[in-house]
């Protein structure tokens, strides 16, 4: 299937990958455009494993970025991440959309 998709010259391929690295290597060898590899359950320490191994060009961080509006700053600082609330992912109101605190907001709350 990857070979046929490659013929379409799509901008990128986003793969939800569950662990068969041989399959991922095959996909990488057939796909020359950007490859996004999302590994369910990976830890924050393993974000770049597939990039470092030349198996991916980008590692999506969707859920982490949803619950951490300052995600990049948290990574740089080695700060803990907010826990995401899956009950708010697919509609039902504004809760979970813009109400996760940033590090600065947490520091301000703690200083009160």
**What distance in Å separates the CA atoms of residue 108 and residue 87, rounded to the nearest whole number?**
27
Helices (H), the chain: 2-7, 21-30, 49-52, 62-67, 71-77, 103-110
Q: How many Å is the maximal CA-CA distance in the chain?
A: 59
Q: Which residues are registered as beta bridge partners of 14?
A: 36
pLDDT tens column, 10-69: 999 999 998 889 999 999 999 999 999 999 888 999 999 999 999 999 999 988 999 999
Domain ranges of the chain: 1-60, 62-112
Task: Report which DSSP code applies to 68.
Answer: -
pTM of the model: 0.79
DSSP classification of residue 39: E
């Amino acid at each position: 299937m990857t070979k046929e998709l490659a013929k379409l010259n799509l901008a990128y391929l986003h793969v939800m990958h569950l662990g068969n690295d041989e399959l991922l290597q095959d996909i990488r060898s057939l796909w020359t455009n950007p490859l996004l590899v999302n590994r369910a359950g990976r830890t924050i320490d393993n974000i770049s494993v597939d990039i470092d191994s030349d198996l991916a060009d980008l590692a999506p961080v969707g859920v982490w970025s949803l619950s951490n509006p300052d995600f990049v700053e948290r990574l740089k600082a080695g700060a803990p991440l907010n826990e995401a609330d899956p009950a708010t992912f697919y509609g039902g109101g504004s809760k979970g959309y813009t109400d996760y605190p940033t590090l600065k907001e947490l520091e301000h709350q703690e200083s009160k």
